[in-house]
Amino acid sequence: MSWVDERTGPVVLADVRWYLDGRSGRAAYDAGHIPGAVFVDLDRWLAGEASPESGRHPLPEPETFAAGMSALGIGEDSRVVAYDDEGGVIAARLVWMLRVTGHEAALLDGGLQTYHGPLERDAPRSVKATFTPRPWPPHRLADIDDASDPANTVIDARAPERYRGDLEPVDARAGHIPGARNVACRANLDQAGRFLPAETLRHQFLAAGVTDGKSTISYCGSGVTACHNLIAMELAGFGGGRLYAGSWSQYSHASTRPVATGSAPGS
């Protein structure tokens, strides 16, 4: 929280809690959040309409994203600090979206657990801000063909058991994209939910074949936690990688695409 306290200019705290098991992020926010934080509804403002063809959390239209930010009081000059209660693996989606469209944003390292003061139940009164829609930069995105191309370094941010195909709780098939290596996003964090040292992260990514951001594509179940790996890559000094927003939720529905299982990348 010291980063927030030291900043000058408008700083917006954003609560981006969301749960794969169906629990309500909004209900968690209403039960208690950091004072002054706004709730960012991932399904409404950070994702487009779900479908088997596009995945569970495709990127929204830039106009939708802009409308959501504006309604929450996030403007062109706002500095956003986003958090969740899972070490930032969900809130990273908002941070990545803001950064790639030229806005200043950061994760609250350690998330909600780092705030030791009393929590607030009431939502702050938001004053509508000016937030201009900007297109998603093509050089920061990948599609299903890019993710299938062995010329690219592809990393899978899901938990090891989902990567191996031991289980698949939500998507059409179990396993991973052939050639992809598992870099579970939660392995970026220590036991307190804070980022590991940059040098430790760098070694983890190097072990997965990452040598630079431009040739690296990150995916997960639906393009949310994959953003945590992209932010961790930046912290480790690799620069910005590419997001495969459709991720496994799109790929697993493409029945003609091959699937690998087990702990090896496959081919």
Residue 220 annotated to the active site: yes
Residue 9 has pLDDT above 70, yes or no: no
What are the pLDDT digits (tens) for 114-148?
999 999 999 999 889 999 999 999 999 999 999 99
Active-site residue identified among 92, 95, 98, 220: 220
Tell me the pLDDT band of 1, cut-offs 50, 70 and 90. Answer: low
Q: What pLDDT score was predicted for residue 118?
A: 96
Query: And the tokens for 251?
Result: 């790929």
Q: What angle is formed at CA 258 by the lines to CA 228 and CA 264, rounded to 5 degrees?
A: 60
Q: What pLDDT score was predicted for residue 126?
A: 81
- Mean pLDDT within 238-246: 97
Q: Are 39 and 69 in contact (CB under 8 A)?
A: no
What the chain holds in terms of domains, given with CATH numbers, is 2-114 (3.40.250.10), 138-251 (3.40.250.10)
What are the pLDDT digits (tens) for 145-175?
999 999 999 999 999 999 999 999 999 999 9
Residue 102 has pLDDT above 70, yes or no: yes
Q: What angle is formed at CA 257 by the lines to CA 252 and CA 259, rounded to 5 degrees?
A: 65
Tell me the pLDDT band of 10, cut-offs 50, 70 and 90. Answer: confident
Whole-angstrom Cα Rg for the chain: 18
- Mean pLDDT within 192-214: 96
- Mean pLDDT within 97-101: 98
Q: What is the helix (H) or strand (E) element at residue 248, kind and residue range?
A: helix 247-251
- Mean pLDDT within 261-266: 94
Please give the C-alpha separations between residue 125 and each of 35, 36, 128, 158, in angstroms, as whole numbers.
12, 9, 10, 36
- Mean pLDDT within 103-116: 96
Residue 60 has pLDDT above 70, yes or no: yes
Residue 8 has pLDDT above 80, yes or no: no
pTM above 0.85, yes or no: yes
Mean of pLDDT over the chain = 95
Tell me the pLDDT band of 27, cut-offs 50, 70 and 90. Answer: very high
The 3-class secondary structure across 89-126, one letter per residue, is: CCCHHHHHHHHHCCCEEEECCCHHHHCCCCCECCCCCC
Query: And the tokens for 267?
Result: 């081919």
Which position has the higher pLDDT, 267 or 223? 223
Tell me the pLDDT band of 94, cut-offs 50, 70 and 90. Answer: very high
Residue 6 has pLDDT above 90, yes or no: no
Q: What pLDDT score was predicted for residue 108?
A: 97
Please give the C-alpha separations between residue 118 and each of 35, 36, 88, 114, in angstroms, as whole numbers.
8, 12, 20, 12
| Percent of the chain's residues with pLDDT above 70 | 97
Residue 262 has pLDDT above 90, yes or no: yes
